[in-house]
Chain A
Amino acid sequence: MTRAIRNYFVFLGRCGRLAFAGDWRYYTWMGVLSVICLLGLNAYLRQFAQGLIVTGMSDEVSWGVYIANFTFLVGVAAAAVMMVIPAYVYNNEELHDLVIFGELLAVAAILMCLAFVTVDLGRPDRFWHLIPGIGQLNFPASMLSWDVIVLNGYLLLNVHICGYLLYCRYRGRTPAKWFYIPFVFIAIIWAVSIHTVTAFLYVGLGGRSFWNSAIVGPRFLASAFTAGPALMILAIQVVRRVTATSPADEGSRLREGGSVAQNPTSRAATLDDLELLGSRLPEFASAPRELRHSLLAAAMVWEAKAGDVMLRQGDTDNRAFFVLKGRVVVKREEGGRYRITRSLGPGEQFGEISSLAGTPRTGTAVAEEPSLVLSLSADALRKLMKIPRLNKVIRSRMSERLLITDRALMTLRSIVQVSMLINVFLLANEVFKEFYSGNLHVASSKYLFLGLHGHHALVPWIWTAIAFNLTAMVLLVLPVSRSLRWLNVTCVLCIVGIWIEKGMGLVIPGFIPSPLGEMVEYRPSLNETLVCFGIWAFGLLCYTVFLRMSVPILQGRLSKANEGA
């Protein structure tokens, strides 16, 4: 038990240390974010000391950019889990690893949501009044109480799922399905519920006719599932970029040199080598002796120096390899850059997919340090795969690679496409309902879209948002957005358009005019804006740290096996 705790703390310690390690680009990024965070903290403490008078809010417009950002980010958190559906429900392999990035984004987004709600409170020192059992949580009548429960629950769910999967990967263990799959499915339902509950915060207020409409809930989900995956598309490309090295560093070394088999020194395998494999891979050791010895004929052992290339991306040979000693790194070339997809230690395999499926090599394997590698023919591997335990271990390790393919991005693009179409359709519904019948409850909509009684501060904002959303919708429908550059432009348009529409375009007009007909406009103060930037910077800081820790784990470069290295 204590050993398990100690191991976990070592793991956390290594992750923590990783957060501070990086190159100059990393330090610049984190440095800028830290500066913005500090500015935000200082601004918030000013608000804590002097009260919310330092914001632009008033009794007439009593919620502002804090709640606007909160609403937008709950959507992002809910949608980040949307990728879970194709990965788990439809068994889309390519999205599997990206699920972790999505869930980590959800965690960062929820932390930002909780921060935004806390800074909006007039008496944050009384937060404990919200804790059920200790305080007086008004559940189930108050939708805010539901929000408190679902947001914190969602945070715990995602922290559990990510934490468990990453820690298992770190330990080199196959995660126990019962310990995370049920939670994954709960997370899917919970994701829909967090955003619906947040929508109900607004819908349930009968006195505010701008919000008291059934379309708000579906609109929330549609816009969330547009902006969230759009953010993921951008985030994933950033991860791809920063985990890849430029061809100048690698390419020359990898492209030169003749055919693969010539470089490392190879010899026939001996029984000792098989013993060595057995000691590193227990499932092999438990295979029948005759089977193991029958492999000798088809097995070879290579002694590789650091930098030796063992197989090359695109090649069509079909041997499978097991690392006996040392470390081998598999890199994949994408868009002119190389990225490490896996890092393998003793007992781990590579080249097995091409071997079994007969497909070309998906990556290039290079020895990172002097290594001993056992290679088997495809037939030999198939014989091994007949053993159930070995089969299981080899199969589960097959998916332990960090592949960020363009196909994954295109899957996300289809989600964004459909959601944006629905979002625009729902907007059309809202506009018709508000303006066609000419009844009196449309003052807020008039204020938002056209201006009212000489006040029109929000009109340019909402029309910009609509323009962005429509442009994004058109681009998404056209094949031009299949190209990554246009896709990125489209994603930015989606995110900004929906941020404006959901934030300023939903929260503020609900307050103008006031229930007694007063027109009081709202403008965030400098202090308020600094706090918002600070919280966004904090969220990005968290997400960067999460990625900084999880990518090496997923690549296999941070694992228990190389503890102390």
Chain B
Amino acid sequence: MPANPSQSNAGPGSNDSISRRSFLRTSAVFASGLAALAASLEPLRHLKDFPSTEQFLQKYYKELSPAEMAKVLKRIEDEVERQYGLRPQVKDLRPMDGVEFVYALNLTRCIGCRKCVHACVAENNQSREPEIQYIRVLRLPHGSMDMEKAEHNYNPESVPEKGFFYMPVQCQHCKNPPCVKVCPVHATWQETDGITVIDYDWCIGCRYCEAACPYWARRFNFTKPSIPKDRVNLNMAYLGDRPRRQGVMEKCHFCIQRTRAGRYPACLEVCPVGARKFGNILDPNSEVSYILRTKRVFIQLKEELGTSPRFFYYFDV
């Protein structure tokens, strides 16, 4: 700063050569500064999919009228066709009345084969590169539920290994979900049938829900997800397996495109040993009602946190 008022050197001075010099150097700095600013925008050349005005202004899921939703679904179908060459069918499936889903997992039966992990990936159009997997199978030693003793990367010749049991963990669709509480924009919420869903077009990618989840169930798209063209599942739901974009969260949604159509989720269908059980707890004749009625020991993970998960792990031998 000018230390002395008489020493100001900005603006036209009394001396012509000073003013010309000052003009030259000021313009040089400004011009080169602008050039540097313009050049710094170079990475935007690689910007892959910038949202259109329509996408930018798209309303929140719960505020979309049926006509607006139809337009949105069509837009998604167009996008997928453009990107993968095949036209999917994207539906907005609503929860059924009198249905509340519950998942029961028999830890005696699970052999840790990870078939559920990959069936989920195939069914739900998850990114292969970088790899996103909603389900993580933990290998725990007999006698302990301490997560610190869990091994995520076991890769033996054959499973199951002696002295261990296997516990697949995915979104627990808690009755008291911490992720729903912390989302600043209501992008994730629990529907009446118990599925905690995400509106991928509303999520701002702050990852607060990822910090809040005690089960490490939520995944973030750190870059544009990549799905091989021939592996796309064309049966899509808006809140389910339709392809996501860079910068949004995703997670297990109980294969909403299947379960709301009355079918079992993919992880259950492929499990070779039938360790997974899913159904409507409000129906007394469902398998899950039977299990919760007759089995004696249930584990809800981290029960003490008060999240009240819908996943009941049990042993029966």
Contact = CB atoms under 8 A, between A and B. Distances in A.
Direct touching of A and B (C-beta under 8 Å): yes
Interface of A: 17, 20-23, 26, 31, 34-35, 38-39, 41-42, 45-46, 48-53, 57-60, 62-63, 117, 120-127, 129-130, 135-138, 141-145, 148, 201, 204-208, 242-246, 249-250, 329, 340, 368, 440, 443, 510-511, 513-518, 548, 551, 557
Interface of B: 1-5, 7-11, 29, 33, 36-37, 39-48, 51, 56, 60, 130, 136, 138, 146-150, 152, 169, 178, 181-187, 202-208, 210-216, 218-224, 245-249, 302, 305-307
A527 to B, nearest CB: 10
Given A123-B247, A144-B182, A51 B2 contact: no
Given A122-B207, A551-B1, A206 B148 contact: no
A207 B147 CA distance: 13
Contact of A45 (B5, B41, B169, B208): B41
A52 B212 CA distance: 19
A38 B40 contact: yes
Given A45-B44, A130-B184, A207-B305, A517 B147 contact: yes
Given A368-B5, A551-B1, 7 more contacts: A22-B2, A35-B36, A50-B43, A52-B220, A60-B216, A137-B184, A204-B181
Contacts of B219: 59
A51 B204 contact: no
Question: Quick one: which of A121, A137, A206 has the most chain B CB within 10 A?
Answer: A206
Given A42-B42, A62-B207, A206-B214, A21 B169 contact: no
21 contacts: A42-B40, A45-B42, A59-B210, A60-B216, A62-B207, A63-B207, A63-B211, A120-B206, A121-B247, A123-B204, A124-B204, A129-B204, A136-B186, A138-B184, A142-B183, A142-B184, A329-B5, A513-B148, A516-B215, A516-B216, A518-B216
B259 to A, nearest CB: 24
Contacts, number: 215
Contact of A136 (B138, B202, B221): B202
Given A59-B210, A208-B211, A516-B215, A53 B41 contact: no
B204 A121 contact: yes
Contacts of B46: 49-50
A510 B211 contact: yes
B220 to A, nearest CB: 6
B4 A245 contact: yes
Nearest to B33: A34
Given A141-B181, A243-B1, A517-B150, A49 B47 contact: yes
The main secondary structure of chain B at its interface with chain A is loop
Contact of A121 (B149, B206, B245): B206
Contacts of B307: 206-207
Contacts of A201: 208
B1 A23 contact: yes
Question: Quick one: which of A35, A45, A249, A513 has the most chain B CB within 10 A?
Answer: A45
Contacts of A329: 5
A207 B221 contact: no
B43 A144 contact: no
B48 to A, nearest CB: 7
